């Protein structure tokens, strides 16, 4: 296997790095997919020709691939236009924008670092493995966006993973203390490759007593397309525990359409139901629900039943987690 490498190339400083000089700020990328700078976007807004996100997409091509800069662009529009700026009710790709390139693959992983008082950190491990006889194997450029729960991009890293090599992101090394509000966020991997082959990112939750691991959840190859009606019932089975455990339901909206009017429903083995309404989530926005706080039967450790996402849908990357605080043991499984 090739040398284990880390994501060392930071594309822009984190929130704690201090304010850059004006010239540096203008030259900094706001759209990493299209290599569009903040200065280019600022010129478009100052000229008065760009008064909406769609205008910026058409004039600069920013936010037409992975949509990761959407919240940055909307903030710049709001700063430039004030109350005159009216955000779009949903995200789309305007007609007439040249996107004749391979669209990136987007993969999502939850990140915990000191969440809820736990001694917990996150590692993301990515393998670019290929057989020696695989003539199509090649280096893969991978970008990692660290997202806040509201979808805001906090930091960006990029690396090139050669065939039969690996890369690792470790929250203890790359995320400054206090950067993630509440100690929880999302890592979005953006991979410029039409074929992922055996490229399979795994994320690991590391506590003082154990490491638990599962793989990523993938968004559609073309985030601008409308999916055919396809519904999935996301279920979180709850079994009794010898002692009280914490239980969490983590989800990220991976689609351009907003996720709204959703709720989590607890149904006991006897058929009793309780529900909790979820907030409206835009693309790349997330929610982490402490089920043991929402449903008392789960908190006691005596509850037995299921938690489901209702109504059924096909828009989320989701995980279910159980935590034994006494043993500092995390158990995670993707939905």
Among 103-107, 115-119, 183-187, which is the least confidently predicted range?
103-107
Instruction: Place 2 in a pLDDT band, splitting at 50, 70 and 90.
Output: very low
Max avg pLDDT among 21-30, 186-195, 253-262? 253-262
Q: Is residue 119's pLDDT more than 70?
A: yes
Q: Is residue 24's pLDDT more than 70?
A: no
Residue-range domain boundaries for the chain: 24-101, 102-218, 235-334
> Do 237 and 298 contact (CB within 8 A), yes or no?
no
Domains 24-101 and 102-218 share a fold: no
Give the pLDDT of residue 314. Answer: 72
**CB 176: neighbour CB atoms within 10 A?**
13
Q: Residues 26, 31, 36, CA angle at the centre, nearest 5°?
A: 55
Q: Is residue 121's pLDDT more than 90?
A: yes
Instruction: Place 13 in a pLDDT band, splitting at 50, 70 and 90.
Output: very low
- 27 torsion bin: left (phi>0), alpha (psi -120 to 50), beta (else): alpha
Integer Cα distance of 62 and 250 in angstroms: 29
Residue with the two structure tokens 């040249």: 98
Does the domain at 24-101 match CATH 1.10.10.1100? Answer given as yes
More reliable by pLDDT, 94 or 33: 33
More reliable by pLDDT, 121 or 335: 121
pLDDT in tens, 224-283: 454 555 677 788 888 888 777 899 999 999 888 888 999 999 999 999 999 999 999 998
- What kind of fold does domain 102-218 have according to CATH? Hypothetical Protein Tm1070; Chain: A (2.60.290)
């Amino acid at each position: 296997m090739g040398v284990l490498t880390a994501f060392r190339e930071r594309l822009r400083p984190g929130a704690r790095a201090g304010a850059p000089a004006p010239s540096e700020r203008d030259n900094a990328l706001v759209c990493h997919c299209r290599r569009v700078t903040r200065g280019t976007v600022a010129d478009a807004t100052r000229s008065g020709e760009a008064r909406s996100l769609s205008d910026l997409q058409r004039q600069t091509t920013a936010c037409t691939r992975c949509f990761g800069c959407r919240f940055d662009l909307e903030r710049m529009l709001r700063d430039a236009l004030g109350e005159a700026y009216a955000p779009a009710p949903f995200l789309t790709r305007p007609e007439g924008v040249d996107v004749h390139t391979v669209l990136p693959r987007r993969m999502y992983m939850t990140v915990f670092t000191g969440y809820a008082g736990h001694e917990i950190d996150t590692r993301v491990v990515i393998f670019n493995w290929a057989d020696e006889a695989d003539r199509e194997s090649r280096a893969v450029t991978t970008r990692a966006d660290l997202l806040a729960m509201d979808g805001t991009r906090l930091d960006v890293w990029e690396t090139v993973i050669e065939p039969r090599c690996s890369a690792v992101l470790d929250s203890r090394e790359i995320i400054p203390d206090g950067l993630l509000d509440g100690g929880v966020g999302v890592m979005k991997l953006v991979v410029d490759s039409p074929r992922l082959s055996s490229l399979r990112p795994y994320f690991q939750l590391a506590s003082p007593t154990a490491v638990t691991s599962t793989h990523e959840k993938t968004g559609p190859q073309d985030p601008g397309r409308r999916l055919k009606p396809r519904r999935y019932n996301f279920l979180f089975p709850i079994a009794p525990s010898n002692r009280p455990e914490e239980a969490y339901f983590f989800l990220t909206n991976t689609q351009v359409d907003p996720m709204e009017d959703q709720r989590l429903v607890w149904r006991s083995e006897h058929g009793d139901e309780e529900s909790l309404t979820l907030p409206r989530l835009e693309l790349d926005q997330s929610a982490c629900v402490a089920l043991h706080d929402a449903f008392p039967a789960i908190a006691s450790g005596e509850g037995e039943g299921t938690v489901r996402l209702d109504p059924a849908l096909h828009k989320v990357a989701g995980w279910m987690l159980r935590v034994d605080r006494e043993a500092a043991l995390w158990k995670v499984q993707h939905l």
